[in-house]
Chain A
Amino acid sequence: MTGQSRRHPPHGRVNAGTPRSLRIALSVLATVAIVAPLAWLWQASRVPTVYSVMTMGYLDYGRGAMADMGGGGHSGHMQGPMVSEDSAPSRLVTDMIADPGRRADVRVDLVTRQQMLTVGGRSIAAFTVNGTSPGPQIRARQGQLIEVHLLNESVADGVTLHWHGVDVPNAMDGVAGVTQDAVPIGGEFTYRFVANQAGTYWYHSHQVSNHQVAGGLFGSLVVTPRSGIAQQVDVSAVAHTYGGVRTINGKAEDLRVPAEPGQRVRVRVTNTDNGPMQVWTTGSCRLLATDGTEVHQPTEVFGRSVTLTAGGRADLEVKVPSGGTAVRIQVSKATAVIVGPPGVTVLAPPQPTDELDLLTYGSPAPLGFDPSHPTLQFDYRIGRRPGFVRGWPGLWWSINGRLFPNVPMYVVREGDIVVVHIANHSGEVHPMHLHGHHEVVLARNGVAATGSPWWVDSLNVSPNESYDIAFVANNPGIWMDHCHNLKHAAQGMIAHLMYEGFDTPYRIAGPADNQPE
């Protein structure tokens, strides 16, 4: 034995005693053990080039009245594979239309284009409606039938129009690949629906909506009540960020609204961006409506901001002071609406540290249904985990623990009273938007709502928050139930609500290249 032979290398040694071939085999095995599951996950995450939302994910029959759905009892939670495409549902989404024999009260022609726009001195590759962004505001009185004729002049990916917050018949919902094909260049589509709900809404494309809405393909829709409104001035403020430039009604400057001292002004603020913003005023205001639905007995709000989630609307009432000054409504710190005598300036009020809590705002009123005895209950748990979506690795949003496309298809029957528990454990805020229905908030983090019925179609769900919401299944069809941070939707945060027995003739991708997200 020599001293040399006893020396050990300072940092590493060979694997003594293991035959070379065995070592190689073990190394290969270890590699396979790492690579194979990844390859399998990658393969499983890929989606077909053409598919129906009906074959996506799994059917979720919820908890509740499942006995006659084959679920065997009222206490369990039933899930099942998607129906095969050759089963024969009785109704198609295309059947759900407004009365074709009724004449339209409001007719609008909308032409969509892809063009450059100058916003705040910046040249932006934009999408316009009738040459502008936002497109023209559509106004109707409650109960009127609106007919919108869409012509796509030059948007290469095709377009659709979705009536955000309006519970339209399913065929008019404007979701590419679910309720219609994307309208190609030169193509046309006519939307017809009765504006039964008075309130503030908006329309936007639901084809490649992530890019088209960000690029400006949207506009405002206002339905005034039959009895009119109590305010003397009615103004809309549509907030949007174009390529980093904050705007109101398409202009990167404050919106000035002339109003006389003592007049009451209704300011309809719409957030068309992907994230929530705060809205607050000088003095006080009242929050008249959320997402198009009136608040019952709204009280004066002092020193609090209103959280306006992505896609959401808030109708504020401000009163022009009698002393010749104006009121300033901050729509985030970046933009403002100034209401009052022309030329009067108002300094921006400091942003309140507290937000108005709609759980306790206003006074209780009848809901029109009893959510304490739901016939169905669902979970919509939002998480975030590593995995593959459409073959791409990443840290992806999950719904009930699963990644797109293995997301739930919530199955309801007409007349169901549905309660959904939405919980956000993903570390980011999500503006949750259910198409075709209005939901009432029952509780947040287990604390029951005690104020006015808080109706939403776009709900701001912050990290570590949970909401219990309820709605009546009264608008048959197939409806998207997704995050209205449209980037998140494009990343797979999309589920659907379907009425039993419905099907769609449309396909995601396919010849029309439908890409609703």
Chain B
Amino acid sequence: MRTAYKVLAYLVATEVAVQAMLVVWFFAGLGKWVEGGGVLDKAAMESEGTPFPQVVGIIAHGINGFFVIPGLALLLLIISFFTKVRGATRWAVIVFVLVIVQGQLGGLGHDFPLAGALHGLNALALFGAAIYAGRRLRAAAAVGVDQPESRTAAPVS
């Protein structure tokens, strides 16, 4: 279970990095396309097909953000119940809440661009939290905390 927890936590962190790459890849492609005379308005955004190849970046960003990362965070939370490590659930909850906040900020960014800026900032918090969650499990494993305390601690006299 701990391995699963670690893997999921690191996967969340990896996905955050992938998200950052995808969205910048999209904007770089958009910039190049506009430089070449491409026009982006809502009609173009909502059309079928890809006016420039990097459109895939924003589509993948959406699928990752709406489905994959929340799914990973939810699995992390469920797995955390079975790791028998104190704090594992707390950090899984923190990661999960940050994922939800991230999605909300992403959506709100359509209305309030400043929320989009916070979406970028929250991504760093989520990345950090996911890395920390994974690392502390590794640290916990290194000192053998999976052993019940009654076996490792002498009775208090």
Residues of A within 8 A of B (CB): 1-2, 5-6, 9-16, 20, 23-24, 26-28, 30-31, 34-35, 124, 211, 214-215, 239, 241-246, 271, 273-278, 310, 332-334, 384, 386, 393-395, 427-429, 463-464, 485, 487
A-B contact pairs, 12 of them (CB 8 A): A5-B152, A5-B153, A13-B145, A241-B44, A244-B44, A244-B49, A244-B52, A245-B49, A273-B46, A275-B46, A277-B42, A332-B44
The reply on B140 being an interface residue by CB < 8 A is yes
Cβ contacts under 8 Å, A10 to chain B: 139, 143
Q: Which of A28, A35, A333 has the most CB of B within 10 A?
A: A333
How many A-B contacts are there with CB distance less than 8 Å?
146
Mark B residues whose CB is within 8 Å of A.
39, 41-52, 66-67, 70, 74, 77-78, 81-82, 84-88, 103, 107-108, 110-111, 136-137, 139-140, 143-150, 152-154, 156-157
Whether A275 contacts B81 by the Cβ 8 Å rule is: no
Contact of A16 among B45, B49, B144, B150 (CB under 8 A): B150
Q: Is the CB of A394 within 8 A of B67?
A: yes
Report yes or no: A244 in contact with B41, Cβ–Cβ below 8 A: no
Contact call A11/B87, Cβ cutoff below 8 A: yes
8 Å CB contact of A9 from B70, B77, B88, B140? B140
* Contact present for A276 and B49 (CB under 8 Å): no
B144 nearest in chain A by CB position:
A9
A5 engages B48 (CB within 8 Å): no
Residues of chain A with a CB closer than 8 A to B108's CB: 427
A493 to B152, CA, bound (A): 60
Instruction: Tell whether, in the assembled complex, residue A333 and residue B41 are in contact, meaning their CB atoms are under 8 Å apart.
Output: yes
Q: Which residues of B contact A246 (CB under 8 A)?
A: 39, 43-44
Chain A hits for B149, CB < 8 A? 13-14, 16
Return the contact of A12 from the options B52, B87, B107 (Cβ within 8 A). B87
* Distance in angstroms between the alpha carbons of A97 and B54 in the assembled complex: 49
Q: Which 5 A-B pairs have the closest CB atoms?
A: A275-B42, A243-B49, A244-B51, A274-B46, A241-B47
Q: Is the interface of B mostly helix, strand, loop or mixed?
A: loop
Known: A1-B157, A243-B47, A244-B50. A429 touches B140 (CB 8 A): no
Q: Evaluate whether A277 and B43 lie within 8 angstroms (CB atoms) in the complex, with A243-B48, A244-B49, A427-B110 already known.
A: yes
A246 to B38 Cα, complex, angstroms:
10
Bound form: Cα–Cα A245–B50 in Å: 9
In the bound complex, CA of A124 to CA of B50 (Å): 12
A244 / chain B contacts, CB cutoff of 8 Å? 44, 47, 49-52
Instruction: Please tell me if the beta carbons of B44 and A9 are within 8 angstroms of each other in the complex.
Output: no
Contact of A214 with B47 in the complex, beta carbons under 8 Å: yes
Q: Which residues of B contact A27 (CB under 8 A)?
A: 81-82
**Structural contact, A276 and B43, CB atoms closer than 8 A:** yes
- List, in ascending order, chain B residues with CB within 8 A of A241's CB: 43-44, 47, 49
What is the CA–CA distance of A16 and B49 in the complex, to the nearest angstrom? 58
B88 touches A30 (CB 8 A): no
> In angstroms, how far is the closest chain B Cβ from the Cβ of A333?
4
With A215-B48, A242-B49 as contacts: A276 and B42 at CB distance below 8 Å: yes
- A274 / chain B contacts, CB cutoff of 8 Å: 42-43, 46-47
Q: Which residues of B contact A2 (CB under 8 A)?
A: 154
- Cβ-defined contact, B154 with A12, below 8 A: no
Q: B44 to chain A: which residues have CB within 8 Å?
A: 241, 244, 246, 273, 275, 332, 334
A12 touches B67 (CB 8 A): no
Residues of A with C-beta under 8 A to B144: 9
Instruction: Tell me if B140 and A12 are in contact (CB < 8 A).
Output: yes
Q: Which of A9, A35, A241 has the most CB of B within 10 A?
A: A9
Q: How far is the CA of A239 from the CA of B46 in the complex (A)?
A: 14
Measured CA separation A273–B39 after assembly (Å): 14
Excluding A9-B144, A243-B50, 17 further A-B contacts by CB distance (< 8 Å) are A2-B154, A5-B153, A9-B145, A11-B136, A12-B87, A12-B137, A27-B82, A211-B48, A241-B43, A241-B49, A244-B44, A244-B51, A277-B43, A384-B107, A427-B110, A429-B42, A487-B46
